[in-house]
Structure 1
C-alpha cells in the first residue's frame, strides 16, 4: 500500500474541549503530528498576550491546528458523495489544514514586526526545507510538499481546496472563534458550527452554503465581529503587547549599541541581526523568551529592566482613547512634557491602533482580496450573503478602527506635584487626585 493511503491499525483520538474528539486515521497525519516542528506549536500560545487579560487563554497553536484539521475532516466527510469535489484532494486538504499555522513564532505578530519576519515564509521553509515535516511529506510524493505549501499560500490551482482554510467562512476561523471563546470564558464566539458544516457545498472554486443555513452563517459573522472587539483587540491585551514590543525593541537597540548583557541573549542574536536561520527560528519559543525576560529584570539598563518586570509581573500601561492624527498638537505637547520630566517617549508613550473589517464583498471599481460568501438557493442559483441578510449587510465593508494611547500611570503619579504633572494629567484625562 502506498504511504499516502496507509491507515493506522487503530484510530487515534485526541480529547478536545471544543470538538469533543479529534480523529486521526491517516498514517501521514499521525506522522506529521509527531514531528519536531509540529510539536513546537505546543510552546506557542494561540492568543499571544491575551492570557494577561483572560487567565484561561493559555491554549496553544498546537490545539488550534488540530482543531482546524478536525473541522476539515468533518467537511470532507460530508463532501464524500457531493459533485464538484475531487476525492483525490482529501489528504492534501487535511495536511494543509493541520500545517497552516506551522510557522508562527513566539508572540507571533509583535515578534514579526520588531524583527521584520513573516510567519508565512517560515511555514513555507518548514514544509520545503530540511525538516522532519518535509521528510514525511516527501514520502507521499516528490510534489506533495510544494502542493501543501501552495494551498497554505493560496496559490494552489484548485481554489476549492484553498477555500477550506482561507476564506471568509473557513475551518481556520470556525475553530479559533470557538476555541478562543472557550478558553477566554466569553460567550461571543459561539455559533452553530454543526449546522454550517451540514449546509456547506463544494462548488467550482469555493465552498458555498445552502440558503437554508443563512441564519447560522449570520451568527458566525456576528460572533467574529464581537470576538475581535471584545477579545482580540481588548485594550489590556494590547497594553501587554505594547510592552512586549518595546522590550524587544530595547534589547535589539542595546545589542546594536554594544551593551554588555549580564544574560547574553544567545537565542536572539540572529534576530537582532535580522539574519535568522530556520533552525534559529524553530529553537526560539515562548518558554525561551520568558526565560530571557525574567533574567533581564536584573539588567543594568533601567528601561529594559523595568519593561521586563512590567510584562513578567503584569504591571501594564494604562490607556486612553486617543488619535494622534486627530489631535497632533496634544500628542506633541505630551511628548515634550514626558521628555522634560525624564520619561522616554520611545518606550513609555505609545499610540496603538486596531482595525477590523468583519465582512466584505467585491464592488465594481474597488479592490478587494476577499471572496464573498455565497448562498446556494433552491433553484441552484447563487446569492451573495449580504444581499440576503440585513444583519450582514449592515456591517459589510465597514472598517472599524480604534486608537489608544498607552502610558505608565504609576510613574506619572510619582512625579513632583508641579505644573508639568498637572498638564500631563489634564492631557491624559487622569483624575486630579491621582
Structure 2
C-alpha cells in the first residue's frame, strides 16, 4: 500500500461543499486533500441548485470566489406564487432587506476548481473504495485506491462531504446514529432549455394537475420543473408533452410568455426530507447531503451545505489557530439547529404547493386556507421571506 504525505484534513467528496471547505481552510493556512470518486468532468456535469442565499454569497466572496458570481449572478428581489389563476408576489427585499442570487451550482463548482488549482490544493479524482479508518482515535486515516494502486492518507480529521449515498455517514456506529426521513410520493421532472425565461423572477405554481416551477439560470437559459409520479420515466416526457403540461399548470397570462425550445438536460429527482444525528463521531464530521437532504422547493440543499462548511471551517480554524476545540465539540449541535429550521421550511413549502391526491379533500382545504392566510397577511409573507432568503447563522 502506498502512503501519501500526511495532511491535516482529509476531505471526502469533491462537490461544492468539499471544494469550498478545502478553499477556506487553505486561506487559513490549513492543508487538506480532497478525494473524489468521479472525474472533474463528472463533477462539473452534475446539475444542482441555482438559488443562493445572501449568507451563502457573502461566504463565497470572503473565500475569494465572488468575482464571476457578482458579474453574472442574477439578483432577485422577490418571487411569485401562482394559485387558482391568481399570482401572489412575495417582495423579499421589502420584507427582509435581503435578496437571493441565481447562479448555477455548476458555475460555482467551476469557480471553486479554478481557485483551488491556483492555490495548488490537491484534488485526487478517481478515488475508489474510500474508507475512513480509526475515526474514534487520535490517529485517523483514509484508505482508497486509484489507477496507481492502493493508498493510505494519514490525517487529523476527516470531513465527510460525500453526499447522501457516500460512505462517511455509514462509518458512524449504527448504535450512535439516528436518522429521520420523509419520502414524498412524487418527484420533480426538470428540464433545462436555451430559451428566454418566462419572466425575470421565479414562479411557484400550485395547480390541480400538480406543481410547476419556472426558474432560470441566465437571461437565455430557462429551468422548468413539473411534479410527476415518483416512479415516472423521462422517456415518457418528450419536450412537446412537457411544455403542454407546463402551460396547462400556469395562469393564462403567465403561460402566454412561455418560449418553447428543445431540452438540453432532462431528469427526474425524487423528493425526500432526511436528517442524520449526530453530524459527526470522533475525528469524522459530516457536511452537506451526507448529513441531510431537503426537498428542492426553496432551494435549501446547497445553502445548507455552505452553512455546514461555515461552521466546520470555523471550528477547525479555532482548533489549529487558537488550540480551542469547543467549536468542534459543538459542531453537530450548532449545524443541526439551522438544518432543522431549513427542513421545517422546506417541508412546509413543499406541503403547501404540491398536490397530495391520496390525502383527500381535507389536505386540499388546508392548502387553500394556508394560501388565503398567506395572501392576506404581511406577517405570514414576512415569515416566508425570512426563511426563503435564509435564516441568520
- With the shorter chain as reference, the TM-score category is under 0.3
TM-score under structure 1 length normalisation: 0.23
Bigger RCO of structures 1 and 2 (CA < 8 A, at least 6 apart): 2
TM-score under structure 2 length normalisation: 0.24
Larger strand share, 1 or 2? 2
